[in-house]
Amino acid sequence: MNTGWAQRLTPKRLLQASVGVALVTMALKVLAWWLTGSVGLLSDAMESAVNLAGAMFGLWMVTIAARPADADHPYGHHKAEYFSSGFEGLLIIAAALGIAWAAIDRWWHPQPLQALDWGLTLALLASALNGMLAWLMLGAARVHRSVALEGDARHLMTDVWTSAGVLLGLLLVWGTGWFWLDPAMALLMAANVLREGARLVWRASQGLMDEALPVEDQQHIRAVLDDVTRRQGAVVFDHVVTRRAGQRGFADVHMHVPGRWTLDQAAELRSAVEQALVAALPGLTVTIQLLPLGHEPGEAPPR
């Protein structure tokens, strides 16, 4: 995706679009289920209802996460996005259980399907809308580093795969007349949806527990610090600690400089290092503690 387009597609705008698309796709799938009587299409419609709830909650959390820091939240509200991702995961798990329940009931009480041509057409149109929006959201999530946006995008992709499985089952039923294939495919899709929901809940929990930045980002930080050490010679960096909160990344670093340096000299280098780190990882908040060489916090400074 073109980065310029992704920059303009903000998380809030895309989640607003997700609410609208969820309403449209849910209506299409409910109509498809009403025409055909397929439990697979019913499960697909249930998933779209979950999409709607997830998108609305995600929009709320992104709005909160964008608020500036205040007296009660001096580090900002960025972690609100993790609540969105976790909520999406829980909704997906609930949808998976509902799909499985409906599929098992239909397995024991198979029914012939009607108007499959119309049902397939409506379901395919709904899946195309979800797939297009999910593709846009995933690209924008990488640019904006938005956990809420990525969670909603992956939820939509799960819906697309669920729809694909349901459509395949309906095609097989249409071609073979084996009505048990409809609930069987719905059960398979429920298992896939359950896996994706558990993954989202796990990721949200890790973010709320101050998970470190991805390895690739940590390597960028280390490369910047190593470059400064090579150029300055007498400067040492250690105790590099990172964490992620929503769209923001944080890094705490100890910078050891020769004791003979003036405070102005050390502060000037610290400012340059901070700027280099932010240039390497936009959105990074850096805290650099100045220390004399050979000295650690809590120790008496070297004489």
pLDDT level of residue 113 (50, 70, 90 thresholds): low
pLDDT reading at 247 higher than 50: yes
Greater model confidence, 3 or 237: 237
Burial (Cβ within 10 Å: 0-12, 13-18, ≥19) of residue 290 = middle
pLDDT level of residue 3 (50, 70, 90 thresholds): low
* Angle, CA 276 vertex, CA 271 and CA 282 arms, to 5°: 115
Q: What's at 296, amino acid-wise? A: E
Q: What is the DSSP letter of 300?
A: P
d(CA 258, CA 297): 16
d(CA 38, CA 32): 8
Q: What does the pLDDT read at residue 10?
A: 74
At 170-198, the pLDDT tens digits run 777 777 777 777 777 777 777 877 887 78
Percent pLDDT > 90 in the chain is 16
pLDDT reading at 66 higher than 80: no
Q: What does the pLDDT read at residue 274?
A: 93
Greater model confidence, 2 or 272: 272
Average pLDDT of the residues in 28-32 = 83
Q: What does the pLDDT read at residue 303?
A: 56
Closest CA to 243 of 273, 208, 277: 208
Q: What does the pLDDT read at residue 1?
A: 46
List the domains of the chain with CATH numbers: 3-208 (1.20.1510.10), 215-292 (3.30.70.1350)
**Length of the chain counted residue by residue:** 303
pLDDT reading at 110 higher than 70: no
Greater model confidence, 40 or 256: 256
Q: Picking from 41-55, 222-236, 252-266, which range would have the lowest pLDDT averaged per residue? A: 41-55
Output the CA–CA distances (angstroms, integers) from residue 137 to 78, 163, 170, in the order listed: 19, 19, 29
When the pLDDT of each residue in the chain is averaged and rounded to a whole number, the result is 78
Q: Sheet of 284-292: strands edge to edge?
A: 236-245, 248-257, 284-292
Q: What does the pLDDT read at residue 272?
A: 93
Q: What is the DSSP letter of 114?
A: -
Beta strands in 91-154 (DSSP E): none
d(CA 159, CA 138): 14
At 210-230, the pLDDT tens digits run 778 888 999 999 999 999 999
Q: Picking from 18-27, 104-113, 265-274, which range would have the lowest pLDDT averaged per residue? A: 104-113
d(CA 195, CA 133): 22
Q: What does the pLDDT read at residue 69?
A: 74
- Residue 85, token pair as written in the block: 């991702």
Average pLDDT of the residues in 219-244 = 90
pLDDT level of residue 141 (50, 70, 90 thresholds): confident
Percent pLDDT > 70 in the chain is 84
d(CA 182, CA 165): 10
Radius of gyration of the chain (CA): 25
**Is the Cβ–Cβ distance between 11 and 149 less than 8 Å?**
yes
Ramachandran category for residue 214: left, alpha or beta (phi over 0 → left; psi -120 to 50 → alpha)? beta
d(CA 114, CA 118): 9
pLDDT level of residue 277 (50, 70, 90 thresholds): very high
**Is the Cβ–Cβ distance between 42 and 102 less than 8 Å?**
yes
Query: What count of other Cβ atoms lies within 10 Å of the Cβ of residue 70?
Result: 9
**Dihedral sign computed on CA atoms, order 145, 135, 185, 166:** positive
Helix, strand, coil fractions of the chain, as percent rounded to 5 = 70, 10, 20
Q: What is the DSSP letter of 69?
A: P
pLDDT reading at 273 higher than 90: yes
pLDDT level of residue 4 (50, 70, 90 thresholds): low
pLDDT reading at 157 higher than 70: yes
pTM over the 0.85 mark: no
Average pLDDT of the residues in 241-264 = 86
**Dihedral sign computed on CA atoms, order 269, 275, 279, 281:** positive
